[in-house]
Amino acid sequence: MSSIQVKNIYWMITYALNVIDDKGVQNISTESFENIYDLCASLMSLALSKQVKRGLDKSYIVKINDLPCVKGKILIKENLLSNNYKSKIFCEYEEYNENSYLNKIVKTACVYLLKSNKIIDKKRAIKLKRYLLYLSNVDTINIKLINWNRINFNKNNVSYKVLVNISYLIINGLLASNQNGNIDFKEFIDPRQISRLYEKFILGYYKYHHPSLLKGACKIDWIVDGNNELLPNMKTDIMLYNKVTDKTLIIDAKYYSSIFQYNKKYDSKSFHSNNLYQMYAYVKNKDIHKTGKVSGLLLYGHAKGDPEVESSFNLDGNEISIANIDLNKDFDVIRKKLESLIIDL
């Protein structure tokens, strides 16, 4: 089963969440972790401590209670049905407090992590419990009922992005440790989530180290005559552009168990055809003037210990490359590989 070093998971998370410059995160980078649970405990404690200093999220919570005096809206039906003759009134009202949806998710993740009993370093568990006290007045939530799509960030709660992403990592069991202290990717309900972390890591890496080259995820228009309304959108994961050389590199990051597709009938293997067709379409439609200065890179992430692959093909005047990255290698090796892939840009 494929596995990734815990330390590399740390780097993937920090690049994906764009917190690589955070001093607290940099301190964590010097620590050693026995498993993913210890890493998540440290990241959660750090993020929670920072949020406590900024101020916890608050929202208006609807409450219904029988009160000695009127507060909010009087509930006529409830008062008529009540056998309460103690001069109390059923009212519906709002309270502005810390029992918000975001805080419920964060607390649930912390409790979930602590109850797993898989945090090996007890000091990390104690530290997390200490910060959890700040959420004493916050309820937990059924993890099956969390609607991640409901979460909207604004200028008041944007600082919760890191906390929510770590909570997502913990709650959904995206990562699980094996006996070697590495990480096994589970069979996940939505396999795209596994790839998403890898994609965000690659994007975050180039965004941090080569901001002048990054164009982000870009839409590519089809080169067609006539109406193209029914054609699907072409949107790349990453697009790098060098103003000096006028060269463009389109990168499609994929997390696959293998860089190859296998044909058992003929005992043969080849690169994944659909991905290659897709990249070909990206490159040819981006290179409108057929300059040959637009190239493509299919960048596969894996952790199986497969042999390193780096192949390039000139397809009708444009270069398309296929490479893989072993995410179980030392991160310095991964870093050098990511740099070497854009050296000709």
3-state SS assignment for residue 62: strand
Mean pLDDT throughout 269-288? 88
- Alpha-carbon distance of 298 to 307, in angstroms, equals 16
Residues facing residue 219 across a β-bridge? 235
**132-178 confidence digits (pLDDT tens):** 999 999 999 998 889 888 888 888 888 898 899 889 888 876 444 44
Work out the mean pLDDT of the chain and round it to a whole number. 83
Evaluate if residue 184 carries a pLDDT over 60: no
3-state SS assignment for residue 48: helix
Which residue in 294, 305, 309 sits closest to 345, CA to CA?
A: 294
Model confidence at 55, in pLDDT bands (50, 70, 90)?
A: very high
Question: Positive or negative CA dihedral for 186, 139, 131, 97?
Answer: positive
Query: Can you give the residue ranges of every domain in the chain?
Result: 3-57+99-189, 61-96, 193-340
* Share above pLDDT 90 across residues of the chain, in percent, rounded to a whole number: 35
As a dihedral over the C-alpha atoms of residue 114, residue 115, residue 117, residue 119, rounded to 10 degrees, the angle is -20
State residue 86's pLDDT score: 65
* Share above pLDDT 70 across residues of the chain, in percent, rounded to a whole number: 87
Q: What is the pTM of this model?
A: 0.75
- Alpha-carbon distance of 216 to 201, in angstroms, equals 13
Evaluate if residue 220 carries a pLDDT over 90: no
Pair of tokens at residue 74:
């009087």
Q: Which strands make up the sheet holding 238-242, listed edge to edge?
A: 214-216, 238-242, 247-255, 294-302, 318-326, 310-315
**89-137 confidence digits (pLDDT tens):** 888 888 889 999 999 999 999 998 898 888 888 999 999 999 999 999 9
Which residue in 340, 331, 268 sits closest to 12, CA to CA?
A: 331
The correct CATH number of 193-340 out of 3.40.50, 1.10.3470, 3.40.1350, 3.30.70 is: 3.40.1350
State residue 8's pLDDT score: 83
State residue 320's pLDDT score: 95
Which residue in 251, 250, 234 sits closest to 299, CA to CA?
A: 251
